[in-house]
């Protein structure tokens, strides 16, 4: 029975979100051509949107899409003007694709990720390449995350895919001797994917968080003695354990210090603790272990009812020495304010003159606003909250910031009985 256009579109979009990387990896490993695999899948999804409302959604949408994409690649290979030297490869490719069993095809995503992290690929494009090929993010989304224009990012991604093709980079898990440097890129991309999903806990991107955790599990299963892989999985599980408490029944944002620990998912918390303990026993400390340790302290509030800010500050001190990250510096400043006082936190915030990229970074302005408010610098706090509100895309978080700004306004009025400066509103 034919399906409605919207139903078919919803199914196609769901399959795209859940299976894009798996489909690309499966085809790219066999064609040795990431761009061709992506183009074929793009045509397959377009065909699904066109055909499914008429013929109904197939029982196995993944296999249907793979079949169509496979045919597109074979047709393109047959029609391409190729040299005699490459004709033999084209014939072998067509034979391999024609005989593939598509009912339960293997997941090749991790191999694709390591191919994208190959030393032959420009180091600055490896992580963005993984985000596009494995997770389906477009050049605009990736460019925004890496502070690069979509046009420039698109060109860099195209060059990297061409490099994979002409260099014959293998789609496989590298030997231990080849892991140096490549694992770090893979972990960075997995965490970027998780952060993308974490920042959108209600809408369609939320599946990225679960996909990232799955990829993290695959890495740790294949490399069980890599402490940073264990640390990253622990970090993601600590964060994911609090997912159900981040919004109340009305959909309003709930900050960490106001969350009900009873809503946290205990089995994730326990698994994360075990992973972090195992990683710590390897005596090689790194970024993800430190970030996981910070989340462990936060989550331990479910036992004690208090947050050990001194321990958190120590971990942020160590983390900042490793990363020299402005984002870490912002979080360290917040922790310092809890250990000492709000002014100490304000003094520790990164300087915008030296870090101009933070001017459009919402967490910087939100943190500064909260510290200014606690320091009773109400007019400055109002201005900072206004900047944070303007930069926030999540409606629930924006409503929370507006509420915080209103609280500052009421406090100011009650203490001074004077109007605020227009620049603070």
Length of the chain measured in residues: 425
Q: For residues 3 and 12, what is the distance between their CA atoms, to the nearest angstrom?
A: 12
Q: What are the strands, taking DSSP E only, across 147-302?
A: none
**DSSP 3-state assignment of 253?**
strand
Highest mean predicted confidence (pLDDT) among 11-15, 185-189, 286-290, 299-303: 286-290
Q: For residues 106 and 255, what is the distance between their CA atoms, to the nearest angstrom?
A: 40
Residue 365 confidence (pLDDT):
97
pLDDT: which is higher, 15 or 43: 43
Residue 425 confidence (pLDDT):
41
Residue that has been written with the tokens 């974490």 in this structure? 198
Q: For residues 235 and 273, what is the distance between their CA atoms, to the nearest angstrom?
A: 9
Q: How confident is the model at residue 56 (pLDDT cuts 50, 70, 90)?
A: confident
Question: Crossing angle of helices 123-135/150-167, nearest 10°?
Answer: 90
Question: Crossing angle of helices 61-79/5-31, nearest 10°?
Answer: 50
Buried b (16+ CB within 10 A) or exposed e, 273-293: bebbebbbeeeebbbbbbbbb
Q: For residues 102 and 59, what is the distance between their CA atoms, to the nearest angstrom?
A: 13
Q: For residues 157 and 34, what is the distance between their CA atoms, to the nearest angstrom?
A: 11
Per-residue pLDDT averaged across 240-253, rounded?
93
DSSP, res 3: P
Q: How confident is the model at residue 3 (pLDDT cuts 50, 70, 90)?
A: low
Residue 232 confidence (pLDDT):
98
Q: How confident is the model at residue 84 (pLDDT cuts 50, 70, 90)?
A: very low
Buried b (16+ CB within 10 A) or exposed e, 156-175: bbeebbebbeeeebebebbe
Q: For residues 298 and 336, what is the distance between their CA atoms, to the nearest angstrom?
A: 15
Residue 31 exposed, middle or buried by CB count within 10 Å (0-12, 13-18, 19+): buried
pLDDT tops 90 at residue 359: yes
| Alpha carbon of residue 317 to chain centroid | 24
The two tokens of residue 280 are 């710590």
Per-residue pLDDT averaged across 327-355, rounded?
96
Q: For residues 257 and 365, what is the distance between their CA atoms, to the nearest angstrom?
A: 19
Q: For residues 103 and 252, what is the distance between their CA atoms, to the nearest angstrom?
A: 42
| C-alpha dist (Å) from residue 365 to 199, 317, 359, 380 | 17, 21, 8, 11
| C-alpha dist (Å) from residue 162 to 23, 53, 97, 105, 155 | 19, 36, 21, 25, 11
- Write down the pTM of the prediction: 0.77
């Amino acid at each position: 029975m034919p399906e409605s256009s919207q139903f078919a579109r919803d199914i196609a979009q769901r399959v795209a979100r859940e299976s894009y990387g798996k489909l690309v990896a499966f085809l790219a490993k066999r064609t040795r051509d990431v761009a061709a695999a992506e183009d074929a899948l793009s045509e397959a999804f377009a065909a699904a949107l066109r055909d499914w409302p008429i013929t109904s959604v197939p029982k196995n949408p993944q296999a249907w899409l793979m079949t169509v994409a496979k045919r597109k690649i074979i047709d393109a290979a047959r029609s391409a003007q190729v040299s005699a030297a490459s004709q033999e490869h084209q014939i072998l490719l067509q034979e391999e694709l024609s005989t593939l069993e598509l009912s339960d095809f293997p997941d090749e995503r991790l191999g694709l990720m390591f191919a994208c992290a190959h030393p032959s690929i420009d180091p600055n494009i490896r992580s963005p390449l993984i985000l596009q090929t494995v997770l389906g993010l477009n050049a605009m989304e990736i460019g925004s995350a890496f502070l690069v224009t979509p046009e420039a990012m698109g060109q860099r991604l195209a060059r990297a895919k061409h490099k994979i093709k002409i260099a014959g980079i293998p789609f496989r898990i590298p030997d231990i001797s080849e892991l140096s440097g490549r694992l770090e890129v893979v972990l960075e991309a997995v965490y970027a994917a998780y952060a993308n999903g974490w920042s959108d806990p209600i809408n369609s991107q939320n599946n990225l968080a679960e996909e990232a955790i799955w990829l993290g599990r695959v890495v740790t299963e294949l490399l069980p003695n890599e402490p940073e892989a264990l640390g990253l999985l622990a970090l993601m599980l600590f964060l994911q354990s609090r997912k159900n408490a981040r919004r109340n029944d009305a959909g309003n944002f709930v900050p960490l210090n106001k969350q009900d620990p009873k809503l946290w998912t205990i089995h994730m918390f326990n698994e994360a603790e075990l992973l972090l303990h195992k990683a710590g026993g390897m005596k090689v400390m790194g970024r993800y272990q430190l970030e996981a340790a910070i989340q462990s302290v936060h989550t331990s509030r479910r036992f004690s009812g208090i947050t050990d800010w001194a321990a958190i500050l120590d971990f942020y001190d160590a983390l900042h020495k490793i990363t020299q990250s402005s984002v870490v510096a912002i979080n360290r400043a917040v922790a310092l304010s809890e250990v000492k006082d709000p002014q100490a936190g304000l003094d520790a915030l990164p300087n915008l003159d030296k870090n101009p990229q933070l001017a459009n970074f919402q967490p910087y302005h939100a943190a500064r606003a909260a510290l200014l408010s606690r320091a009773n610098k109400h007019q400055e706090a109002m201005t900072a909250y206004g900047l944070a509100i303007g930069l926030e895309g999540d409606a629930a978080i924006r409503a929370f910031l507006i509420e915080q700004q209103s609280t500052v306004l009421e406090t100011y009025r009650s203490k001074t009985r004077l109007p605020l400066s227009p620049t603070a509103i």
